[in-house]
Amino acid sequence: MIMSGKTLMWDQTLFRRGEIFEFDHIPEHFAHRDSQIRSLMFGVRPAMQGMRPLDLMCVGPPGTGKTTAVRKAFEELGEHAPGVVTVHVNCQANQTRYTIFSSIFHKLIGHAPPTSGVSFRKILDEVAKYLIQNEKILIVALDDINYLFHEKEVDNVLYSLLRAHETHPGTKISVIAILSDDRMTYIFDPKVGSIFLPEEIPFPVYAWDELKSILRDRARLGFYDGVISDGVLDAIADYTSDAGDIRVGIDLLKRSGLGAEQRASMTISVEDVRSAYKRSRMLHLSRMISSLSEGERAILAILAKKDVLTAGDVYAEFHETVGLGYTKFHTMLNKLVSLRLIDTDFPTAGMHGRSRTIKLRYGADDVLMLLQR
């Protein structure tokens, strides 16, 4: 870019490589996740000796690198393990056993199964036949598996995948579940629990300096030199750490860059970041709300109607509308705290108390609007 004077000409841009700021971009440099990548590779390695890999479960809050880590591990396998086929399934887009197996079929056979009149059983038969004839081991990543926690669909999916060696002898299939949560809040059906015993790989939220270094790397690749200062990166890291999701930071880089361009500035200011944050935090909020269970959404709806409430008050209304008991309520409340959707006044000591006060960390109108979607 040729800089002329202090203002940006209409045909100039601050973006060296805009695609760097898209969420589906797989970063070349994936820092701070070495131990998770090692655990993933350790789990899938048996496939290199023709054995069924270990089942794995990547667990952590939104924006902690789970999807990226699994994609990286699959890339690595694609290069070094010709006997293995990997399928990455987005469970938000594929919420039934039928569509999940259809996408596995598609990846293996190269085209989608015929749309009408094909039973699930037939698709499974074809998948198994392909694996046996081609002597391939299949690893299925079920990404955002929490979207299957409705009507026990997850149990059906896991059961069909992990019992395939009984229904179709000779098949070797393993599962990498990716759960966007900070803990296992879903209890699998006992019959699945006996065949799905995954090694858990935790993805903790990034610390402030990790966030900053990841964002600095992105900014270096995506912007021209001198566009973003260290002080502005600090401001972005602050907002990102407050939201807890690295996506907020990546979105902030993009939006504040566009904001600076709009005012024909050659550098991004803290003010650009501040005004970009109004949008970026909504993006994060909308993603989190869409992954919540009915009960968790009910709690948010109750809180959005009043400013501050005690846990006891919220529970009374929750129990009346949803019909669930205090233990479930307590678990859900803790999950909402750890997702940083709500604040309570006793972060540690009074976790069980019904008198602790609770309030939303986001604007009530925004929350209500997203809940209605």
Ligand X SMILES: Nc1ncnc2c1ncn2[C@@H]1O[C@H](COP(=O)(O)OP(=O)(O)OP(=O)(O)O)[C@@H](O)[C@H]1O
3-state secondary structure of 350: coil
Supply the minimum distance, in Å, between the C-beta of residue 19 and ligand X: 11
3-state secondary structure of 38: helix
Query: Are 24 and 246 in contact, with CB atoms under 8 Å apart?
Result: no
In the bound state with ligand X, the residue whose beta carbon lies nearer, of 180 and 344, is 180
Residue 39 interacts with, from Mg ion, ligand X, none (CB under 5-8 Å by kind): none
**Judged by CB under 5 A, which stretch of 61-69, 287-295, 330-338, 354-362 contacts Mg ion?**
61-69
* Number of Cβ within a 10 Å radius of residue 305: 11
Residue 241 interacts with, from Mg ion, ligand X, none (CB under 5-8 Å by kind): none
Is residue 67 a contact point for Mg ion (CB under 5 A)?
Answer: yes
In the bound state with Mg ion, the residue whose beta carbon lies nearer, of 211 and 304, is 211
Residue 259 interacts with, from Mg ion, ligand X, none (CB under 5-8 Å by kind): none
357-360 vs 308-310, strand pairing mode: antiparallel
Show contacts with ligand X in window 108-127 (CB under 6 A). none
66, 254, 281, 284: which one binds ligand X (CB under 6 A): 66
Could you tell me which of 300, 287, 301, 302 has the C-alpha nearest to residue 341? 300
Supply the minimum distance, in Å, between the C-beta of residue 276 and ligand X: 17
* Number of Cβ within a 10 Å radius of residue 167: 12
Rg value, the chain, Cα = 23
36, 68, 171, 240: which one binds ligand X (CB under 6 A): 68
Q: What's the rounded Cα separation, in Å, for the pair 301 and 286?
A: 14
Residues 6+ apart with CB under 8 A from 209: 237
Show contacts with ligand X in window 244-283 (CB under 6 A). 246-247, 250
| Residues 33-61 as b or e (16 or more Cβ within 10 Å = b) | beebbebbeebbeebeeeebbbbbbbbbb
3-state secondary structure of 347: coil
148: its two tokens: 């299957």
Show contacts with ligand X in window 168-187 (CB under 6 A). 180
Supply the minimum distance, in Å, between the C-beta of residue 63 and ligand X: 5
In the bound state with ligand X, the residue whose beta carbon lies nearer, of 250 and 266, is 250
Supply the minimum distance, in Å, between the C-beta of residue 293 and Mg ion: 18
Q: What's the rounded Cα separation, in Å, for the pair 70 and 141?
A: 8
Supply the minimum distance, in Å, between the C-beta of residue 336 and ligand X: 16
**Judged by CB under 6 A, which stretch of 40-48, 61-69, 149-157, 260-268 contacts ligand X?**
61-69
Give just the sign of the alpha carbon dihedral 110, 115, 117, 121. Answer: positive
In the bound state with ligand X, the residue whose beta carbon lies nearer, of 142 and 322, is 142
Q: What's the rounded Cα separation, in Å, for the pair 345 and 8?
A: 47
Number of residues that bind Mg ion (CB under 5 A): 1
For residue 372, give the amino acid letter: Q
Is residue 214 a contact point for ligand X (CB under 6 A)?
Answer: yes
Show contacts with ligand X in window 7-46 (CB under 6 A). 23, 25, 27, 30-33
Is residue 146 a contact point for ligand X (CB under 6 A)?
Answer: no
What's the DSSP call for residue 83? T
In the bound state with Mg ion, the residue whose beta carbon lies nearer, of 67 and 103, is 67
Which residues sit at the interface with Mg ion, rule CB under 5 A? Answer: 67
Which residues sit at the interface with ligand X, rule CB under 6 A? Answer: 23, 25, 27, 30-33, 60, 62-68, 144, 180, 203, 214, 246-247, 250
